[in-house]
Amino acid sequence: MATASPTAPPTRIAAPDEGATSARVIIVGTGFAGLGMAARLKRAGMDDFLVLERAGDVGGTWRDNTYPGCACDVPSALYSFSFAPNPEWSNTYSPQPEIWAYLRKVAADEGLLPHVRFGRTVEGARWDDDRRVWIVETSQGAYEAQVLVAGLGPLSEPSLPDIDGIDTFAGSVFHSAQWDHDHDLAGERVAVIGTGASAIQFVPAIQPQVGHLTLFQRTPPWVMHRSARPIKPLERFAFRHIPGALALTRAFVYAVRELTAVGFTRRPSILKRGEKLARAHLHRQVQDPELREKLTPDYTLGCKRVLLSNEYYPALTQPNVTVETSGIARITPTSIITADGTEVPTDTIILGTGFHVTDIPAAHAIWGRDGVKLADQWSESAAAYLGTAVDNFPNLFFLVGPNTGLGHSSIVYMIESQVTYVLEALQAMDRLGASTVEVRPDALAAFNEDVQAKVAGTVWNTGGCKSWYLDAHGRNTSLWPDFTFAFRRATRRFDVEHYVIRSADGELVDADG
């Protein structure tokens, strides 16, 4: 498997002063994206950067999502930075506490913590074209930077359902990403709304302790066997002490996962084999034909996110669980009323309703050249060149931007590809004496046209379902419709020919000169 282009070891050069409110680069967020960008800057000797983080610790979604049973559905071997491999995973699919601990270790080992400003909620960012800087307003004052890198991630803002009467409910209501660990669920009548990747993990974890659990299911997910197992001590010994052992494992897992992209992006007919395996998994674990019918999807495997679990179906067969497929009409102070008139007495409502992915909240707080608001520019659909750059927004780079998500492999691989691209952009600016780089509108349009043409034939668009992959206009602005190595190849260098580049005095720079 290809890795990110090599850089020098960490320089450990001092970060900006503690009271500094400006830097060449400001990074927003300390998840995999933000820390990956910061680490590569540090290793390249570009120490003039700050990282703004709203919370009190690093970790992003792996810090925030602490619900019972939280774990990764990408194999551990792939879920780490190529420059910071982790031989200490306990399981082939890592639990949330270990991933969070890994990110905290990376931040410490790479010397990133002095660059991080905690407790800074970004409230808005505005491009000052006269001074050629980004002004970033936070809850603790303003910061300025020549370059702004948004490492917010698509799973950072919980999506809360607009259900009639939910604000009148007298019991507890919380989202899976904002789990209330002080609330005791023992013996309670719990309603779970949503059947996505979070719900299939926390439902089995809480089922044994609740009095009764009602799962409100709008669309059943495809659920497949999860081949998780503890990593043996001998394996960990090999990963620690035998050169290349961990890299070889990583490369093998990468290749296997990459093969599945064929079914998702090129030949959906291949997915019929996967459907047979998923149906067999359901039949083995659910004996009741009525319940099995409720849990059987009527769309092509892969159209929505494919979920992995060995515990979800067995939990739903327990006598204290009801799967409710009638829609929710309204919520009263003490119950949920379904569309068919059934009243479900409820003490606690847990929302497994996902995140704002295609309707990116941050777009409403970013203003570019001539005061253009990103949300207005994206009013039809979000689009970024290589998922990274947007015209009218000079020196702004997105990590995990539009059409960089995956349905088959590790987002960390995509992040590292984008980080390399941004690093090369900064190096190109230094080489050319540039103050700004801005993607050409025609380059972005051509790229997006190509992406949407490829997306059109994928299972995500043709599989017969509605999913969070699609935006309000029915366009898939979430996923990359190709192999990840194709994205790595496209981002291996900063293609100056697709950018308008200006010097410090605003003059156009001839990148070929």
DSSP for 268-311 reads GGGHHHHHHHHHHHHHHH---HHHHHHT--SS-TTSS--EE-SS
Asked if the structure places residue 494 within a domain, the reply is no
pLDDT at residue number 10: 38
Indicate the number of domains in the chain.
2
Quick one: pLDDT at residue 53?
97
Judge if 181 and 45 occupy the same domain.
no
Question: Cα–Cα distances in Å, from 18 out to 35, 54, 100, 328?
Answer: 19, 17, 25, 51
Q: Work out the burial of residue 178: count CB atoms within 10 Å of its CB; fewer than 13 is exposed, 13-18 middle, 19 or more buried.
A: middle
Closest CA to 62 of 181, 198, 185: 198
Domain boundary (351, 383, 398) is at 351
CA atoms of 2 and 474, how far apart (whole Å): 34
117 and 31 share a domain? Answer: yes
Q: Could you identify the residue written with the tokens 């995509």?
A: 414
Burial of 484 (0-12, 13-18, 19+ CB in 10 A): buried
Choose one of 306, 334, 351: the last residue of a domain. Answer: 351
CA–CA dist 302, 408 (Å, integer):
9
Same domain (yes/no): 445, 300: no
In sequence order, the 6+-apart residues with CB closer than 8 A to the CB of 295 are 217, 220, 282, 286, 313, 316, 323
Residue 30 lies in a domain: yes
**Residue 119 lies inside a defined structural domain of this protein:** yes
Please state the pTM of the whole predicted model.
0.93
- Does residue 383 sit in the same domain as residue 472? yes
Q: What is the pLDDT of residue 2?
A: 38
pLDDT confidence of residue 513: 53
C-beta separation of 327 from 244 below 8 A = no
Parallel, antiparallel, or unpaired for β 116-117 and 122-128? unpaired
Domain match, 123 and 187 both: no
Three-state secondary structure call for residue 135: strand
316 Cα distance to chain centroid:
28
Q: Which domain range does residue 306 map to?
A: 166-221+260-351
Task: Give the CA distances from residue 335 to residues 189, 342, 353, in Å, rounded to whole numbers and listed in that order.
Answer: 10, 10, 19
Question: In the prediction, which pLDDT does 506 show?
Answer: 84
What angle is formed at CA 425 by the lines to CA 420 and CA 430, rounded to 5 degrees? 125
Residues 28 and 80 in one domain: yes
Tell me the C-alpha distance between 457 and 450, whole Å.
12
Residues 277 and 206 in one domain: yes
| Rounded Cα–Cα distance for residues 504 and 436 (Å) | 8
9 inside domain: no
Identify whether 6 is part of a domain. Answer: no
- SS3 state at 506: coil
Question: Are residue 80 and residue 208 in the same domain, yes or no?
Answer: no
Are 481 and 403 contacting, i.e. CB atoms less than 8 angstroms apart? yes
Q: Classify the C-alpha dihedral 83-87-92-98 as positive or negative.
A: negative
CA angle 280, 284, 286 (to 5 degrees): 110
- Are residues 204 and 331 located together in one domain of the fold? yes
Q: What is the pLDDT of residue 411?
A: 96
Please report the pLDDT score of residue 15 as a whole number.
Answer: 75
448 lies in a domain?
A: yes
Query: What number of H helices and E strands is found in the chain?
Result: 15, 20
82 lies in the same domain as 197 = no
Residue 175 lies in a domain: yes
Partner residues linked to 175 by β-bridges: 351
pLDDT tens series, the chain, 513 aa? 433 333 333 333 467 888 999 999 999 999 999 999 999 999 999 999 999 999 999 999 999 999 999 999 999 999 999 999 999 999 999 999 999 999 999 999 999 999 999 999 999 999 999 999 999 999 999 999 999 999 987 776 788 888 999 999 999 999 999 999 999 999 999 999 999 999 999 999 999 999 999 999 999 999 999 999 999 999 999 999 999 999 999 999 999 999 988 888 888 788 899 999 999 999 999 999 999 999 999 999 988 899 999 999 999 999 999 999 999 999 999 999 999 999 999 999 999 988 776 678 889 999 999 999 999 999 999 999 999 999 999 999 999 999 999 988 999 999 999 999 999 999 999 999 999 999 999 999 999 999 999 999 888 888 888 887 888 888 889 999 999 999 999 999 999 999 999 998 888 988 765
My answer on whether 45 and 103 are in the same domain is: yes
CA of 193: how far to CAs of 17, 114, 122, 446, in Å?
47, 41, 30, 40
Is position 229 within any domain?
no
Which of 351, 385, 418 delimits the end of a domain?
351
DSSP code of residue 93: S
CATH code for position 294: 3.50.50.60
Claim to verify: residue 389 and residue 444 sit in the same structural domain:
yes
The residues pairing with 15 across neighbouring beta strands, listed in sequence order, are none
